[in-house]
Amino acid sequence: MQGQQFTVSGTSDYPVCDCCGKTNLTRAVMVKNEFAEEFNVGVICASKLLRQVYQGKKLKVSAAAVISIGKAARASKEWQARNGYGAHSFRLVAA
């Protein structure tokens, strides 16, 4: 996963990190790479993946910032529509 650019898609409840393989995660986010592939990643791994450039150095983002970004992304209309939230997800279909 190194060398790619990632964006946070939202928070996740899936307990396994796709980056390091750690199980029983309590805090995780979904990240999307430039190829539109989504990965479930723990907050610590996400903070390493989401590096920011400051004064010519690449620094990892704090875990609190990753959680905040995930919550903001999850609240977006795009995330809700993609994951089945809203009135359109409760349509009844005749059997």
- Map residue 75 onto helix, strand or coil: coil
As given in the structure block, the two tokens for residue 9 are 């898609």
Strand partners, 10: 30
Query: What is the residue extent of each domain of the chain?
Result: 6-81
Residue 92: per-residue pLDDT:
42
Q: Residue 47 and residue 64: Cα distance in Å, rounded?
A: 9
Ordered per-residue pLDDT tens for the chain, 95 residues: 656 788 888 888 889 999 999 999 988 999 888 888 889 999 999 888 888 777 888 888 888 888 888 888 877 777 667 766 655 444 444 43
Q: DSSP for 7-71?
A: EEEEEE---S-TTT---S-SSEEEEEETTS-EEEEEHHHHHHHSEEEETTEEEEPPHHHHHHHHH
- Angle formed at CA 37 by CA 32 and CA 40, multiple of 5 degrees: 60
Residue 85: per-residue pLDDT:
64
Residue 40: per-residue pLDDT:
92
